[in-house]
Structure formats: C-alpha cells, structure tokens
Amino acid sequence: MNLNIILIFFIYFFCFTLLVKSQGPFPYNTTEGCSIFGNNATFVKNSQFPPYNSVSITSGTCQASHPEYSQKACCYTYQTNGLKTFIQSNETLFGQCPGCLANVWSLWCGSICSPFQQSFMVPTETITQTLQVVKIDFILHPDFAQGLYESCSSIKTENGKTFSSLYSDKQSFFNGVFSDNPQYKINFVFNTTGYNSDITPCSGPEKTTTSSTDSTSSAQSKHSIQYIFYALALFSVILIIGF
C-alpha cells in the first residue's frame, strides 16, 4: 500500500511538472508590464513597473508603426529622443528601402515602448549593485524576424555587398547587425511568444505576420500534455481501486 501511495505521488508530481512547463512564457500582447528603464544612452536599468498612460512620444518616431504607444507605453520623451538620434544615424543605410527602415523603427520602438515589454525583453545579466542591464534576450516572433530580414536583404552595405550576401538567414542577420549597442548585449531568440507586428515589404502594401498555424500547433501541444495528465490520473485511480 505504501508503495502505491509513493507511486501515485510521483505520477502527480510528474503531471504537475508537465503542465507548468507546457504554459511556457506568456505570449506577446497578452500581459502588460515593463522590464527595463533607460536612464541615458548607455545605462539601462533592470526594473519591473507598469506601463505609463498618456505617453508623450517624440514626434516622428514611433507614431507611424505604433500609434497606440501614445496611449500606453514603457517609454517616454527622453527615450524616444535617443531612439530618434540612433535611427537617424543609420537612416542612410536602412533607408535604401523604405520598408526596411519602417520595420527597423518597429523593432526598436517595440523594444523600448511596448506596454508588453516584459514578455519579450528579458534581462539575463545584470550588475547587482546598480541593476544595470548587461545582457538581454530579445524574443521575436519568427515571422516578424523573417519579414524584417527579407525587407532589408537587398540593402547594400559600405563594401557594396548586400545584407543577403553577408547574412544567409535571419539569425546571422540579427546577430550581425543588431546584437551590439551602447546599452547592452542582445541575444535574439525566435519564438512564437515573442514581439510581433505588421511587416512592410521593401515594396508593396503591409502584410500581417501573425501565424495561425503557430497558434494552432501551440494549442495542440498544450492539449496533448493535458491528455497525458488525465490518462496518468486515471491510471492512479485504477491503482488505488485495485489495491
């Protein structure tokens, strides 16, 4: 009898672990919260706080890609001023394709302003004394990352080579072009829970990057784990009745 109780305990513990792991990180655009706070151009603090309401965003920055940030965001004027300076310094490069430039704006506006920042900007290394962020995981939806990469692939760099000839896929592109900045080292992670937004192709109308297939497969995966839980729970009941 004692052996059966121990066995049942381990079954339930295993099921509980599966259920917890199946939840994963909460997906983008579902849970509000900020994870970083930019004090200046070189110092970003690891800080958890709710988004600001009625935000004053620097003119000509994030209004085009995300007008909703004026209502609620994790940034304010000072930070978008810095963003404007940063992107304008690279406008000649990315501006070869207006669609690419628009997507780069969306990428960085999302990183500092999205009211759902905590779901995709995850500090992984912080200086204990000052809480300065040293490294961060920037989680991107694969469709958004691929769309941005494709929209910028034909852009020529200073040596005359295109991004597509220098970087064969989105992973190498993001690591090679965007991973280093004055504030922290970025590790780009591609996951369907990550930041997502409409993509502007190098030419043509906007297209959405939301993938119903990803959502369906994720839901199916969770349901499968739940079925395992129910089956094991039934098995434990049989053990109790049988013994």
Per-residue pLDDT reduced to its tens digit, 51-90: 999 888 888 889 878 999 989 999 988 889 888 988 898 9
**Which tokens in the block code for residue 196?**
């997502």
Q: 58 and 161 share a domain?
A: yes
Lowest mean pLDDT among 18-27, 154-163, 182-191: 18-27
Q: Which residues contact 92 (CB under 8 A, 6 or more apart)?
A: none
Domain span at 12: 1-26+213-243
Q: What is the largest CA-CA distance in the chain?
A: 76
Q: 3 and 65 share a domain?
A: no
Q: 161 and 183 share a domain?
A: yes
**Residue pLDDT, tens place only, 113-146:** 999 999 999 999 999 999 999 999 999 999 999 9
The closest alpha carbon to 223, from 28, 18, 26, belongs to 18
Q: 2 and 121 share a domain?
A: no
Q: 43 and 147 share a domain?
A: yes
Q: 117 and 205 share a domain?
A: yes
**Residue pLDDT, tens place only, 199-237:** 999 874 444 444 332 333 333 344 444 444 444 444 454
Q: Are 61 and 84 within 8 A, CB to CB?
A: yes
Q: 4 and 109 share a domain?
A: no
Q: 10 and 107 share a domain?
A: no
Most confident of 12-21, 31-40, 58-67, 157-166: 157-166
Q: 136 and 186 share a domain?
A: yes
Residue 160 φ/ψ region, left for φ over 0, alpha for ψ in the -120 to 50 degree band, beta for the rest = left
Query: How many Å apart are CA 205 and CA 58, to the nearest integer?
Result: 26
Predicted local confidence at residue 167, as pLDDT = 96
Most confident of 6-10, 16-20, 25-29, 235-239: 25-29
Q: 5 and 104 share a domain?
A: no
| Beta strand residue intervals within the chain, DSSP E | 34-38, 44-49, 52-53, 72-73, 121-126, 133-140, 185-190
> pLDDT-derived band of residue 198, with 50, 70 and 90 as boundaries?
very high
Q: 8 and 63 share a domain?
A: no
> pLDDT-derived band of residue 9, with 50, 70 and 90 as boundaries?
low
